[in-house]
Amino acid sequence: MKDTITRATVLVEALPYIQKFFNKVIVVKYGGNSMINDTLKKAVMKDIVLLTLVGIKVVLVHGGGPEISSMLKAMGKESVFIDGLRYTDEVTAEVAGMVLAGKVNKNLVSLIHQNNGKAIGLCGLDGGMIQVEKLKGEVDLGFVGDIKKVEVSPITMALDNGFIPIIASIGADKNGQIYNINADTAAVAIASALRAEKLISMTDIRGLMMDTNDEDSLISRIHIDDVPELIEKGIISGGMIPKIQSCVDGIRCGIKEAVIIDGRIEHAILIELFSDEGIGTLLYQ
Amino acid sequence: MKDTITRATVLVEALPYIQKFFNKVIVVKYGGNSMINDTLKKAVMKDIVLLTLVGIKVVLVHGGGPEISSMLKAMGKESVFIDGLRYTDEVTAEVAGMVLAGKVNKNLVSLIHQNNGKAIGLCGLDGGMIQVEKLKGEVDLGFVGDIKKVEVSPITMALDNGFIPIIASIGADKNGQIYNINADTAAVAIASALRAEKLISMTDIRGLMMDTNDEDSLISRIHIDDVPELIEKGIISGGMIPKIQSCVDGIRCGIKEAVIIDGRIEHAILIELFSDEGIGTLLYQ
Amino acid sequence: MKDTITRATVLVEALPYIQKFFNKVIVVKYGGNSMINDTLKKAVMKDIVLLTLVGIKVVLVHGGGPEISSMLKAMGKESVFIDGLRYTDEVTAEVAGMVLAGKVNKNLVSLIHQNNGKAIGLCGLDGGMIQVEKLKGEVDLGFVGDIKKVEVSPITMALDNGFIPIIASIGADKNGQIYNINADTAAVAIASALRAEKLISMTDIRGLMMDTNDEDSLISRIHIDDVPELIEKGIISGGMIPKIQSCVDGIRCGIKEAVIIDGRIEHAILIELFSDEGIGTLLYQ
Amino acid sequence: MKDTITRATVLVEALPYIQKFFNKVIVVKYGGNSMINDTLKKAVMKDIVLLTLVGIKVVLVHGGGPEISSMLKAMGKESVFIDGLRYTDEVTAEVAGMVLAGKVNKNLVSLIHQNNGKAIGLCGLDGGMIQVEKLKGEVDLGFVGDIKKVEVSPITMALDNGFIPIIASIGADKNGQIYNINADTAAVAIASALRAEKLISMTDIRGLMMDTNDEDSLISRIHIDDVPELIEKGIISGGMIPKIQSCVDGIRCGIKEAVIIDGRIEHAILIELFSDEGIGTLLYQ
Amino acid sequence: MKDTITRATVLVEALPYIQKFFNKVIVVKYGGNSMINDTLKKAVMKDIVLLTLVGIKVVLVHGGGPEISSMLKAMGKESVFIDGLRYTDEVTAEVAGMVLAGKVNKNLVSLIHQNNGKAIGLCGLDGGMIQVEKLKGEVDLGFVGDIKKVEVSPITMALDNGFIPIIASIGADKNGQIYNINADTAAVAIASALRAEKLISMTDIRGLMMDTNDEDSLISRIHIDDVPELIEKGIISGGMIPKIQSCVDGIRCGIKEAVIIDGRIEHAILIELFSDEGIGTLLYQ
Amino acid sequence: MKDTITRATVLVEALPYIQKFFNKVIVVKYGGNSMINDTLKKAVMKDIVLLTLVGIKVVLVHGGGPEISSMLKAMGKESVFIDGLRYTDEVTAEVAGMVLAGKVNKNLVSLIHQNNGKAIGLCGLDGGMIQVEKLKGEVDLGFVGDIKKVEVSPITMALDNGFIPIIASIGADKNGQIYNINADTAAVAIASALRAEKLISMTDIRGLMMDTNDEDSLISRIHIDDVPELIEKGIISGGMIPKIQSCVDGIRCGIKEAVIIDGRIEHAILIELFSDEGIGTLLYQ
C-alpha cells in the first residue's frame, strides 16, 4: 500500500509538467546508445507512448549509422572516408535509404505497437516531406543532402490521427535521387517547420560541461547568444559544434528551445520533461 | 538523480492504466471525509486534474450534508429527522439547493482552477439535467427527489469543450420545485445515462469486509449476482445496502463497473485506477 | 378571427427588428423591480426565450442585493455600510456568492425551463470566467472585485450549444478568494468581451430625463461624447453616473450600443428591441 | 405606448407556436388568389420570411395556371381541353416550363429578397429533383408528369445554407422531355420526401364545410381514415377529391399532417401556424 | 486493342493539364454557334461534365439573344433597335428574364443531367446574386443592367455541393425590377468575384488575327497592356472591343487569365485547357 | 489541330468510365514485368496519378521477390527452396521487410511524386495494419504470414488526406516478429477490408485462356461459381489456382469484382478501367 501511495504522489507531482507541454509538439532526435542498447530502447519507446497519452505530440526523427555500416559490410562493400567523414556514393545512398526507412524505422514502429502505442513510419520521400539538394561543402561527400524544404502535411496528418510519426532521415532531390541526411540536421529542420515547443537531442554525453572530466560541471542552460563565446573557449568543441550550431539555427527559425540529453540514462526523456532542473543542457533564446 | 529515475519509472508503470481508461468517462461520487479534510480535498482535486490531462473524462457528482446542516443552523432553523432520516421541508429544500449549487459546488470549481484545471459547476436544474418527482417511500421525507430522467447534453457539452463538469445533486420537478437528491443516487443515474466506464464512490470505510474488525478481510471484487447473498449474510448491511443496491442497478443500466473506495486515503482515486489490485471493493457484471 | 389577424399583423411588423438582431449577441443586465415582482419576472423570462427562438443570442447577467441582505439577516448577520455602500467582509462575500450563484441564478435557470427554454447557470468562477483583483477606491469596501479579465469560452460554449447563459456577478482572484462584483460592471465587462450588439440595462427609472418630474422629457438617444456635459448639467446624477460611465467605457471597448430601460414596464425588453423608437435612453457612438 | 405593449404581448403569445415548429420543415403549396392578388402575395412573402427567421424551414411549391394561359394566348396558341382538363402538347409543356421556372418562380424569389429574405428559385429539373414518367390515366392529357422520384439534395442544400427553396412544379423524364406537373401533387411528393412536419395547401375556399353555404360549418380536423366516408357523403367533392386524396397519400408516406387553408385571408399561414384552432381543415393520422 | 492503347496514351497526356487546373474555378461564357448547333451543344455539355469529374470547378454563364428574339416574335412583339443595339423596354426585359432563366437555362441543366452530371440553374435574382442599376451610356437602351454587386454565395454553395452552377445573365435593381445584362459582362463580373483561374469566352471567330483573312495569323497570347495599341491598329475592332475590354477589366479585378476561343470547333473547351498551345487568344497579365 | 480534336474526343469518351468509378476504392496488386520494366513502371505510375485526379481512390499493394533475391545474393546468403517455394528463415524475413518497405516501396513513392502525385509508403507494420500468425500449411515455409486482421485506418487516413497509399506486403505477429506475406494474399485482404469496388491484379499473362496457345481464346468474364469447374478442366492451373482462389474468397468477403490483367501491356490499368470490354479476365459474383 505504501508503495502505491508513493506512486500516486509521483503521478500528481508530474501534473504541472504535463500541463506545461499539453498539446505541444516535441521533436525527439533519437540516436546513439539509446538506439543500440535494448533496455534503453524499450525505455525510450515507453516514454514516447506515455507522452502521447498525456496529450503531448511527439515526433521521432532517427538516423542509424551503425546499421548502415553493418549492411554495407554484409554486402561486401568497402566504406570510403574523407577526413573522417563517410563518402556516400550512389550505392551507399541507396543502401542507407533502404536500411533506415525499411529496417530501423519499421523496427521502431513495431516497438511502439508492442507498447500499445500507434505509430506510422515515414521517410523524407513520403508525401515529398524532405526536399534536398546536394550539400556543397569544402569536401565533396557525395549524396549527402542539404535540406531545401520540409513539407509538414504527412507529419501533421499522422499527429492529428493519433499516430506517432517516426521519420527516417533520408530525402530526395527533384529528380528523385535519394540522399542521406544528417539526423541532427533533419530533426532541426522538422522541428523548425513544425514550430516545435522543444527539440530533444539524445546523445552519448552527459551534456555540455565546463570541465569534461567533471560531471558536476554540467552547464544546465545556455542562451544561444553565448554559444560563440563557448566555442571560442573550447567548451563546445569537435562534433558538438555543428550539433549545437544547428540547434541555434533552429531556435532562430521557430523552435522554442532545444536540449541535449544523455541517452545513456534510462527514461532520460521523461526526466528531462518532468522535472524542473531537467537532465541535460538547454539552449534557449 | 536517483529520485528522478524512480519518478520516471513510476510514470512509465502507469502507462497501461492510462491506456485502459483513455477517452473513457469516469463518474466520481465525491463525499465524506475526502470532502471535509482540506488535505484530502486538495489531493482529490489534483487527482481529477491529472486524470483529465491523461485523456480520461471525469465527472464529479457531490452532495454536502454537513454544509446544509451548518447553514440551517446559522439560519436558526431546526432540523427534523424521521427514523434517522432528515425531513426536507420547503425551506430546507431551498437552502439545500443554495448551499450545494452556490457554495459547495463553486468552491470545488475554484479548487480545480487553482490546480490549473478547467471546470464548470452545474446542478440538476441546469439545462433541465435532472428531472425528478417526489420520492414515494414508506416514510414521507418531504422534498426528496426520485430521478425520472437525466438529460446528459449539458454534461457532454462540458466534457467536449474540455471542462470538468462538477454537479450538485439537486433537481426539480415539472413545476420547477427544487428537490434534494441523494448524491449516491444522482451519481448512479448520471453514470448510467453516460454509460460510464466506471463509477467511483468515495466513502469513509475501507470497503466491504468479511469481518468489519479486520481490514485484511477486504473483499476486492463482487459479482453483482452475489450481492443478495452478501446482504442476507449481513456482510452488506445498514447504509451500505442502498448504496450497493443503487450501484447494482446502475451496472444493469449501462455502467461498466462500480467501485467503493476509502476516501480517507490520500490519492485514493489514482491508486484505484492506476494499480491492478485497486484499493476498494469492485462491483462488476 | 379579427383578433388572430391583428396578431399576425403584429408578428409581421416585428420582422425587420428580428432581421436586425438575427444571430447577434445581446447582454441583458437584469435587476431591480423586474427581478422582484413575479409578473415582471415571468415577462422577462418569456421575452428572453422568445428572443432566443428568433435567433438572437441573449446573455443574462444578474446581481441580487435584496436576496443577499435577506439571507444575511436570516443568518443574524449585521450589515455594515460605509458612506451608504455595503462593506463586504469575508463572510458577506461567501454568502453573496452562495445566494447569487446558488439561489437567484438557479431560480432563473428554472424559470427559463418552465417557459420551455434551455439555460445554463454560471458564475464568474466557472471556467475561470471573471478574474478580479480587490477594487481599490477611496474607501475600502472589502471583497468587492475589480475585473481584470473576462474569459468568454464558457459563455460562447453555452450559446453555441443552444443554452441561454445566465451569469451571477461574482468572481475570484488568483488565490480563489471569492469577490462580490457590481452587476452593472460585470454586464459591461462581459458585453465588451463578447463585442455585443447591444447591452440592455434594466433599471427602475423611466430613463434619463431633462426634467425628472416630467416623463415626457425622456431623452431617447445620447451620443457618448455628450455624457460629460449632461453630468455637468446634473441631468445624469447620483447612482446614474457610474452606471452611465461604465456603459460609455463599454462602448469604447467594443459594445455597439447600450440602452437603459424601465424594467417596471412589462415586456420592456421586447418593446425596446422591436420598435423604432425603443423604450429607454440609448447610448451610442 | 399602449400599442407597443399590446405588440409585445402578441409576440410573447406566439412563443409556444414558434417552439413547436422550431427547426421543422413546412411545405407550402402556393396557388390561387393568394398568388394573384398583390396584397395577399406580399403578405405571404412576409409570412414566409418571418417563419424562416424564427427557425422554421419553409419550402414553397407553386404552379401558375393563369400565367401559362396568358402566355399561350400572347403567343396566339389555342388551348385544348378534354373533359375540362387542359391537354398539354409539346409546345404547351415547353411554355409551361418557361413561364413557371422563368417568370413566376423568379418573381417570387425577387419578392422574398425585397422583404430581406434569401431565396433560391428551382424547378424539378434542377439537380434532377423531380423525375417523372407520362401520367397514364383514362384520358391522355399529353405531357403531364407522374412523379417517380424526388431527389431532395438540392432542397436541403438550400435550406442548410439559409435560402428559402422556391420550386416550380415541372419535371423531366429520363430523356430530358419536360412535363407539366400538378402543383398539389408536386407539393405532396416533396413534403413526403422531406418528411415534412406540415403541408399547408393554399386554396380559394374556406376549408371543408358540412354545408357549403354556411361558413360556420367548417370542419377543423379530419382523421384520414374518415376521408372515404366524407367523399361518399359528398362533403368532399369535385376538385377537392384529388387534392384531399393526395394529402392522405402524403400523410401515409411521411408527412406528419396537412392542412387546407383559405389563401384569401391575409396572413393565413401565420394564423394557421400561430394559433391553437388554426384557420382551415387539418388532415391528420 | 491498338485503339484502346492510343486512348490510354491520350488520357495520360492530359495528366499535367488536369493537375494544373485541379480544384480551380473556371468560368465559361457560353454563347454563339456552340449554343445553337446541337452537336456543338452536346460536346460542350460533355466537356463540362468531364472537367467537373476531374476536379475542376466549372461555372457556366449564358445569355440567349436568338431565343429572346424568337419568343418576342411568337408573341407578335416588334423589336426596336437604336444604332443597331436592341432597346429593352419593360415587356422585353420581362420576356428576356423568362426565356433566359426559364427556357435556355433549364434546357442546359437538363442536358447536363442527360450526361450524368449534376447542375443547378440560377439567374442573377437567385440569392440576390447580381445586383444592378440602369446602365447609363450615350444612348438609352432601356432596362439594360450595369452590375453593381455580385453575391457569390449561391454559386459557391452549388460548387461545394457538387452541382455545376448554370447562370442566366439577368439581374434586378433594388426595387426588384428585372434587367437584361450583356452575358460577356455578367461572366466577367462573376469570374472576378470568384477570382477565377480562367475565363473562357466562347465566340464565333477563330480568335484575334493579325489578318482577318488569314487563319494562320492567329495571335495566341496578348499581354493586357498591349490591348490599347491593338485597338488603335484596328486589330481589335467592332464588337470585339467591348468584349476584350471587359476581359482586361476582369483580369485587373482578380481573374487570372481570359481566353477567347472558337466555339464552332467541337470540344474547343477541352482543347483549350488540355493542350500547351491552347486554341484561341489568351489575355494575361 | 486534328490531333487535338482526336484527343478531346478520347477524353470525352472516358467520361462514363470516370463516372462509374468516381470516389470508389480500387486496389491494385502490382507485380511482375510491370514492376521490372522501366517503361511499364512509369506507365503504371502515370495511370495511378491520373486515376487519383479523376476522383478514384487507388491503393497500391506490392511485393518484390526479385529485389529480395538480389539483395540476399549481394549479402552472400544462399536461398533455400522447398518444393519450389522459398523457405523464409529469420534473416530472410528481415531482409524481405527491409527491401520491400525500405527500397521497393519508397522507390514507388518517389516515382509517384515525380509524376506530381502525392503518395505515402506504408507496410503492414505501420499503424498495426497487417496482423499475422505463422502460415500453417503442409510444408513449413518459415516466416510466411497468415493474415489474421487488417486495420484499415492508416490506409483510409492516407486516402482522406489525398495521399496514394503504397503498401509493402509484410506484416508482424503479436510479438513484433516480421513475416513475409504473399502480395496477392495481402492485396485481397486489404481490398476486402476496404470493401473495394475492384481489385486489379497485374500479372505476366494475357488472362485466363481456353487454349493457352491461342490469345484469341481469352475468357473475359467468369462467375465465381464457375471457378471450380474451370480448375477441374485444367483451364485454371498451376500458380493461377491460389491466385484465382484468393480473388474468389475476397469477392465473397466484400470486394465487388476482381480482374487479372496483363501487366506487360502499357497502360493496362487505364485500358481495363476505361473500356467496356476491359483487357483481362474478370471475376464477378
> Looking at this predicted complex, what is its ipTM?
0.94
What whole-number distance in Å separates Cα of residue B189 and Cα of residue D101?
56
DSSP class of residue C125 equals: T
What whole-number distance in Å separates Cα of residue E27 and Cα of residue E201?
8
DSSP class of residue E142 equals: B
Q: Is the Cβ–Cβ distance between D26 and D200 less than 8 Å?
A: yes
Return the exposure string of E235-253: e unless at least 16 CB atoms fall within 10 Å of the residue's CB, then b.
bbeeebeebbbbbbebbee
The average pLDDT across D42-58 equals: 94
Per the document, the length of chain C is: 285
Contact D4 C279 (CB under 8 A): yes
The average pLDDT across C175-180 equals: 95
Region of C69 please: left (phi>0), alpha (psi -120 to 50) or beta.
Answer: alpha
% chain B with pLDDT above 70: 99
* Residue located via cell numbers 491598329: E233
Residue F225 one-letter amino acid: D
Q: Is the Cβ–Cβ distance between A168 and A101 less than 8 Å?
A: yes
What pLDDT was estimated at residue F2?
A: 66
Distances (CA, A) of A12 to A53, A170, B7, B48, D153: 16, 40, 11, 10, 53
Residue B156 one-letter amino acid: T
Distance to chain F for A70, nearest Cα, Å: 11
What average pLDDT does chain C have?
93
What pLDDT was estimated at residue D86?
A: 81
- Three-state secondary structure call for residue D196: coil
Which residues of chain E have a Cβ shorter than 8 Å from any chain D Cβ?
A: 74-76, 94, 97-103, 105-106, 109-111, 113-114, 118-123, 125-128, 153-154, 157-158, 161, 163, 172, 175-176, 178
What average pLDDT does chain D have?
93
The β-bridge relationship of strands F281-284 and F221-223 is parallel
Distance to chain A for F101, nearest Cα, Å: 5
Instruction: Point out the least confidently predicted range of C39-53, D45-59, D266-280, E190-204.
Output: D266-280
Distance to chain D for C275, nearest Cα, Å: 7
Q: Is the Cβ–Cβ distance between F57 and F25 less than 8 Å?
A: yes
Q: How confident is the model at residue D90 (pLDDT cuts 50, 70, 90)?
A: very high
DSSP class of residue E181 equals: -
Write the CB contacts of D110 (distance below 8 Å, at least 6 apart in sequence).
E125, E172, E176, E178
Q: Is the Cβ–Cβ distance between F231 and F172 less than 8 Å?
A: no
Q: Is the dihedral of CA C270, C274, C277, C283 positive or negative?
A: positive
Write the CB contacts of C27 (distance below 8 Å, at least 6 apart in sequence).
C58, C59, C60, C61, C187, C190, C191, C194, C196, C198, C199, C200, C255
What whole-number distance in Å separates Cα of residue B29 and Cα of residue B185?
9
Residue B1: alpha-carbon gap to chain centroid: 39
What whole-number distance in Å separates Cα of residue F107 and Cα of residue C141?
76
User: Closest to D18 (Cβ–Cβ): which among C16, C53, C271?
Assistant: C53
Check pLDDT > 80 for residue C7. no
For residue C158, give the chain B residue with the closest CA.
B157
What whole-number distance in Å separates Cα of residue E262 and Cα of residue E243?
14
Q: Is the Cβ–Cβ distance between B165 and B118 less than 8 Å?
A: no
What pLDDT was estimated at residue A2?
A: 66
* Residues on chain D touching E97 (C-beta within 8 angstroms): 102-103, 106
For residue E18, give the chain F residue with the closest CA.
F53
- Cell readout for F255 is 470486394
- Cell readout for C285 is 457612438
Q: Is the dihedral of CA B71, B76, B77, B82 positive or negative?
A: positive
Q: What are phi and psi of F192, to 5 degrees?
A: -65, -50
Write the CB contacts of D20 (distance below 8 Å, at least 6 apart in sequence).
none
From the CB coordinates, do chains E and A have 3 or more pairs under 8 Å?
Answer: no
What whole-number distance in Å separates Cα of residue C29 and Cα of residue D203?
48
Contact F12 E271 (CB under 8 A): no
The β-bridge relationship of strands D119-123 and D164-168 is parallel
DSSP class of residue F280 equals: S
Q: Across A52-56, B62-66, C122-126, C272-276, which has the greatest mean pLDDT? A: C122-126
- Three-state secondary structure call for residue F222: strand
* Residue located via cell numbers 494575361: E284
Distances (CA, A) of B162 to B49, B155, B157, B217, E45: 11, 11, 9, 40, 51
What pLDDT was estimated at residue B2?
A: 66
DSSP class of residue F169 equals: S
Q: How confident is the model at residue D1 (pLDDT cuts 50, 70, 90)?
A: low
The average pLDDT across D21-32 equals: 95
Containing H/E element for E9?
Answer: helix E2-21
Return the exposure string of C197-233: e unless at least 16 CB atoms fall within 10 Å of the residue's CB, then b.
bbbbbbbebbbbbeeeeeeeebbeebebeebeebeee
Contact A120 F122 (CB under 8 A): yes
What whole-number distance in Å separates Cα of residue A59 and Cα of residue A165?
5
* Residues on chain F touching A98 (C-beta within 8 angstroms): 98-99, 102-103, 106
User: Closest to A11 (Cβ–Cβ): which among B4, B6, B11?
Assistant: B11
- Three-state secondary structure call for residue D215: helix
Nearest to C177 by CA among B110, B135, B231: B110
Contact A126 F121 (CB under 8 A): yes
Instruction: Give residue-wise pLDDT tens across range D230-266.
Output: 999 999 998 889 999 999 999 999 999 999 999 999 9
- Three-state secondary structure call for residue A210: coil
What whole-number distance in Å separates Cα of residue D3 and Cα of residue B153?
41
Return the exposure string of A147-168: e unless at least 16 CB atoms fall within 10 Å of the residue's CB, then b.
beebebebbbbbbebebbbbbb
Residue E101 one-letter amino acid: A
Which residues of chain D have a Cβ shorter than 8 Å from any chain E Cβ?
A: 74-76, 94, 97-103, 105-106, 109-111, 113-114, 118-123, 125-128, 153-154, 157-158, 161, 163, 172, 175-176, 178
- Coarse DSSP helix, strand, coil percentages of chain A, rounded to the nearest 5 percent: 45, 25, 30
Instruction: Give residue-wise pLDDT tens across range F60-86.
Output: 999 998 999 999 999 999 888 887 778
What pLDDT was estimated at residue D203?
A: 93
What pLDDT was estimated at residue C82?
A: 85
From the CB coordinates, do chains C and F have 3 or more pairs under 8 Å?
Answer: no
Range list of H helices, chain D: 2-21, 33-36, 38-53, 65-74, 90-99, 105-114, 153-160, 183-193, 227-232, 240-252, 268-273
Instruction: Give residue-wise pLDDT tens across range E50-103.
Output: 999 999 999 999 999 899 999 999 999 988 888 777 899 999 999 999 999 999
Distance to chain C for D80, nearest Cα, Å: 41
Which residues of chain B have a Cβ shorter than 8 Å from any chain A Cβ?
A: 4-16, 18-19, 22, 43, 46-47, 49-50, 53-55, 115-116, 265-267, 270-271, 274-275, 279
Q: How confident is the model at residue D178 (pLDDT cuts 50, 70, 90)?
A: very high
What pLDDT was estimated at residue C75?
A: 94
Nearest to F255 by CA among F200, F197, F184: F197
Write the CB contacts of C235 (distance below 8 Å, at least 6 apart in sequence).
C208, C209, C210, C219
Residue D214: alpha-carbon gap to chain centroid: 26
Return the exposure string of F71-103: e unless at least 16 CB atoms fall within 10 Å of the residue's CB, then b.
bbebeeeeeeeeeeebbbeeebbbbbbbbbbbb
Check pLDDT > 90 for residue B191. yes
Return the exposure string of D39-54: e unless at least 16 CB atoms fall within 10 Å of the residue's CB, then b.
ebbebbbbbbbbbbbb
Domains of chain E in start order, with CATH, are 20-284 (3.40.1160.10)
Sheet holding A178-180: strands in order across?
A145-150, A130-134, A170-172, A178-180
Distance to chain D for C4, nearest Cα, Å: 6
Residues forming a β-bridge with F146: F133
Positions in chain A whose pLDDT score sits under 70: 1-2
- Cell readout for A126 is 513520403
The neighbour count for residue F126, using CB atoms within 10 Å, is 31
Q: Is the Cβ–Cβ distance between C169 and C124 less than 8 Å?
A: yes
* Residue located via cell numbers 389577424: C5
Distance to chain E for D165, nearest Cα, Å: 10
For residue A50, give the chain B residue with the closest CA.
B15
- Tell me the angle at which helices A2-21 and B2-21 cross, rounded to the nearest 10 degrees: 80
Q: How confident is the model at residue B171 (pLDDT cuts 50, 70, 90)?
A: very high
The neighbour count for residue C155, using CB atoms within 10 Å, is 26
The β-bridge relationship of strands E198-203 and E257-262 is parallel
- Cell readout for B77 is 432553523
What pLDDT was estimated at residue B79?
A: 81
Instruction: Give residue-wise pLDDT tens across range F201-236.
Output: 999 988 998 887 887 899 999 999 999 999 999 999
What pLDDT was estimated at residue A122?
A: 98
Nearest to A71 by CA among F98, F69, F78: F98
What pLDDT was estimated at residue E1?
A: 60
Contact E267 F9 (CB under 8 A): yes
Write the CB contacts of A242 (distance below 8 Å, at least 6 apart in sequence).
A184
User: Closest to B75 (Cβ–Cβ): which among C74, C97, C123?
Assistant: C74
